[in-house]
Amino acid sequence: MLFDPHDMNRLAILLDVDGTLLDIAPTPREVVVPHSLTQTLARLRDRLGGALALVSGRPIAELDEFFAPLRLPAIGGHGAEMRPVADGVTLSGRAAPLDPLFRQRLKDIAALHPGVLVEDKGYSLALHYRLVPKQGLALVHDVKHAYEAWADPSFELLTGKAVLEIKYAAFNKGSAVRDLMTYPPFTGRAPIFVGDDRTDEDAFAVVPEFSGHAMSVGRKLPGIDDHFKSPDDVRRWLERLADGVSVA
């Protein structure tokens, strides 16, 4: 699909972060945000009249930290948080917290698998095994068993790239994107959503409701319009858009 750089007032661009904008790092805190990327995003935001948003599993406060001094509209925690206006307040309380007993059970499981990193987001808990891939099979088995025994259908188990995450099921990136598109300057625009992981598939499913366009990273998916090979390709594409160059 060809995007006309001179017709940006009808588009909104929504971007996943890890694995899409940024290269995957050994741990969540080790990701690198190129200075040139923040400059590109700032230029693109201006060309879009502000209709540029980050859509991430990370908390919004963490996104602000990594992309500082740039602040953008954002969806955090897979939809648990939303900030529809860059300089506005973060709307939280959209997701129920994990039960403390189950949270501790998951941490106990992680402790049985040396090298597994626990990322406690409050509204969700992620267990990363990228540093110890050989632990993955046993970790997945133990976490799935604990999740099934817990038997609370209001929460869901997500599987990603060397990560397992338990979160509130009522919200996801798709439902959050649907909400974001009701706020100016996103209202009435066609969203382009770019993502790479299982959690992004919820947003892929929603963008057609707004005559939007889905683009995957790293893998081709059935029903997805286009795809990029890597985050580096995404960054180059965004730079061309920000510079007003026609891109396919």
Give CA 179 to chain center in angstroms: 15
Q: Is 109 within 8 Å of 142 (Cβ atoms)?
A: yes
Annotated active-site residue in 16, 142, 196, 197? 16
Angle at 231 between CA 125 and CA 61, to 5 degrees: 40
DSSP 11-30: EEEEE--BTTTB---SSGGG
| CA neighbor of 246 nearest in space, from 1, 2, 24 | 2
| CA neighbor of 163 nearest in space, from 189, 184, 190, 133 | 133
Instruction: Identify any residues that bridge with 213 across adjacent strands, giving them in sequence order.
Output: 192
Tell me if residue 16 is catalytic: yes
For 162, the token pair is 């060397």
Instruction: Identify any residues that bridge with 127 across adjacent strands, giving them in sequence order.
Output: 118, 164
The residues that are catalytic are: 16
